[in-house]
Structure 1
Amino acid sequence: MLNVYLLSAIMCGENSSSLTPGFYILNGVPGLEAAHTWIALPFCFMCIIAVLRNCGLIYLIGHEEALHRPMYYFLALLSFTDVTLCTTTVPNMLCIFWFNLKEVDFNACLAQMFFVHMLTRTESGVLMLMALDRYVAICYPLRYSTTLTNLVIAKAGLATFLRGVLLILPFTFLTKRLPYCQGNFLPHTYCDHMSVAKVSCGNFKVNAISGLMMALLIGVLDICCISVSYTMISRAVVSLSSADARHKACSTCTSHVCAIVITCVPAFFTFFAHRFGGHSIPHHIHITVANIYLLLPPTMNPIVYGVKTKQIQEGVIKFLLGDRLSLSKTNKS
Structure 2
Amino acid sequence: MIDIASIIRDIPDFPKEGIIFKDITPLLGDPEAMRQTADRLAAPFLERDIDAVCGVEARGWIFGALLAERLAAAFVPIRKPGKLPYKKIARTYDLEYGTNTIEIHTDAIQPGQKVQVQVLKIDPDSQKISLGMKQTQPDPWEAVEAKYPLGTSVTGHVTKLENFGAFVELEPGVEALIPISELSWSQRPRHASEVLQAGETVQPMVLQVDPGRRRISLSLKQAQANPWAGAAEAYPPQTEHAGRVTRIVDFGAFVEFTPGVEGLVHISELSDQHVRRVEDVVQVDQTIKVLVLEVDEANRRISLSLKQTADAGQAASAFADSGKPAKKRKRPLRGGLD
TM-score (norm 1): 0.20
Which structure would you say has the larger RCO, counting Cα contacts within 8 Å and 6 or more residues apart? Answer: 1
Report which of the two has the higher share of strand.
Answer: 2
TM-score (norm 2): 0.20
